[in-house]
Amino acid sequence: MTRVQAIPDTITVHVPFSLVKRGGRKEMVLPVDRSTPRQTDDTLVKALARAFRWKRMLDTGEFSTIADLAQRERIAAPFLTRTMRLAQLAPDLVEAILDGRQPRGLTLEALREPLPCDWSEQRHHLAMSIIDNESH
pLDDT tens, position by position, 15-64:
677 788 877 788 777 666 655 556 788 999 999 999 999 999 999 999 99
Name the helix (H) or strand (E) containing 27: strand 25-29
pLDDT, position 27: 79
Long-range own/partner contacts, residues 8-13 (CB < 8 A, 24 or more apart) = none
> How does strand 25-29 pair with strand 18-22?
antiparallel
pLDDT, position 52: 94
pLDDT, position 7: 64
pLDDT in tens, 79-130: 999 999 999 999 999 998 998 888 778 889 889 889 999 999 998 888 776 6
pLDDT, position 132: 58
Prediction pTM value = 0.67
Query: What confidence category does residue 75 fall into, taking pLDDT thresholds of 50, 70 and 90?
Result: very high
Residue 11 has, within 13 A of its CA and on its CB side, a CA count of: 5
